[in-house]
Amino acid sequence: MRTNNRIDKIKEYHFKNLDIIKNQVISTGIDVVDLSIGDSNIPVDNRIIEALKNSFLKDGFNKYPPYEGINELKEAVIKYYKSRYDVELDLDEVVILIGSKEGINNIIPAICDIGEYIIAPNPGYPVYATSASLWGCNTYKVDLYEEDGFLPRMEDISDEMKKAAKLFFINYPNNPTGAIANEKFYKEIIEFCKNNEILLCNDGAYNEIVQGDTKTSSILQFDKEKTSIEFGSLSKPYNMTGFRIGYAVGNKEAIRALAKIKSNVDSGQFKPIQYAAIEALSLGEEYLSQIQKIYSERREIAEKVLKEKNIEFFETTGAFYILAKTPKGYTTKEFCEELLRKHGVAVAQGGIFGTVTEGYFRIALTQDKERIYEGLNRLDRY
């Protein structure tokens, strides 16, 4: 059967293929320490589970939800942004998503015409460029370098691209580097996008996943005119990856356009999941501090082992990843495959996120401290 030629241009999602290899290795009896994908082993809080169960007693729980999300959840997002970031939002500045990945995909046809450009980071979440290709758009990659703290240099973007681009995706705290953006950077990129009539989209999936003295932040704290939008996810801070629930907030024209796309391609998220999300967002500072403490401890033990093994890595306090340099004598692909097949440790190849990180591998701090310690100690072989 002949398929869409855009499908032919994209690769199978890396982590789908990695799952196949992991299962093959496990079937041979090898104990696999999985530090590859950002799917934490921390259990869902019981209060969220109870809210999910109780929602099945509500009248109409099985009916179609509103396309833009139930108002109770939108109000919970508004309350959360006020309490966490002191950002005021209105209902028409919030749309509920079937996970932030869905929103990232759908904002492209909401804003871009076929053949137009988005700007995406290199390295970055592969979905930005893949989604652009699927919608018939082009991607201009802006390189991020370790010496710059993995922040983009706006001066590297040509005048031609400033005129051509319609969207600019950023992601801080960053995947795969863990990099953190500061107020100066946010204000600079907000002004850049405003002056060039580019919609700035911050993928804020890891906003709450910070360690040490790093404070949580939202791009909307620095964008008083709300010329940008931010994608939020309950997957990482509330360990709800399989629930598929998130939101987009910010510029009301962009939110309206995104909601229009959604009303034509999906029918919203199941109401009980939205009620569970309301409970999650109400858990507050105490809960989030506990989550941050867990990742701080995991990062501390991982960095200690890496230093003992003389493996270089980017030191940061954002997200739950560590970007480490591939040992000499290996390509990253060779190293990651050998590490998994021979030693039972799964990590992500840096090259799947972009050319800049070809010589790196990414460690996800998604297992208990003991498992992280055990897995990284297997690096003795290198």
Question: What's the CATH number where 170 sits?
Answer: 3.40.640.10
> Given a cut of 90, is residue 314 above it in pLDDT?
yes
Asked if 241 and 304 sit in the same domain, the reply is no
DSSP state of 208: T
DSSP state of 363: E
Question: In the prediction, which pLDDT does 213 show?
Answer: 87
DSSP state of 120: E
2 part of a folded domain: no
Asked if 69 and 202 sit in the same domain, the reply is yes
Asked if 73 and 154 sit in the same domain, the reply is yes
Question: In the prediction, which pLDDT does 53 show?
Answer: 98
Q: What is the sign, positive or negative, of the torsion defined by CA atoms of 15, 19, 24, 26?
A: positive
Q: What is the pLDDT of residues 16-42, one digit of tens each?
A: 788 888 889 889 999 999 999 999 999
Task: Kindly report the three-state secondary structure assignment for every residue of 310-337.
Answer: CCCECCCCECCEEEEECCCCCCHHHHHH
Percent of the chain clearing pLDDT 90 (strictly above): 91
Q: Which residues pair with 33 in a beta bridge?
A: 345
Asked if 241 and 312 sit in the same domain, the reply is no
Work out how many domains the chain is built from and give that number.
2
Window from 169-173, 234-238, 329-333, 365-369 with minimum mean pLDDT: 329-333
> Given a cut of 90, is residue 6 above it in pLDDT?
no
Domain closes at, from 255, 283, 311: 283
What domain range is 152 assigned to? 63-283
> Given a cut of 90, is residue 12 above it in pLDDT?
no
Q: What is the CATH number of the domain that holds 363?
A: 3.90.1150.10
> Given a cut of 90, is residue 253 above it in pLDDT?
yes
Question: In the prediction, which pLDDT does 81 show?
Answer: 98
Find the length of the chain.
Answer: 382
Question: In the prediction, which pLDDT does 371 show?
Answer: 98
Domain closes at, from 264, 283, 302: 283
Question: In the prediction, which pLDDT does 1 show?
Answer: 83
> Given a cut of 80, is residue 201 above it in pLDDT?
yes
Question: In the prediction, which pLDDT does 288 show?
Answer: 97
pLDDT band for 315, please (50, 70, 90 cuts).
very high
Question: In the prediction, which pLDDT does 3 show?
Answer: 84
Asked if 272 and 259 sit in the same domain, the reply is yes
The mean pLDDT of the chain is: 96
Q: What is the pLDDT of residues 104-161, one digit of tens each?
A: 999 999 999 999 999 999 999 999 999 999 999 999 999 999 999 999 999 999 999 9
Contact 83, 208 (CB under 8 A): no
Please identify which residue in the block is written with the tokens 């082009």. 138
d(CA 15, CA 265): 25
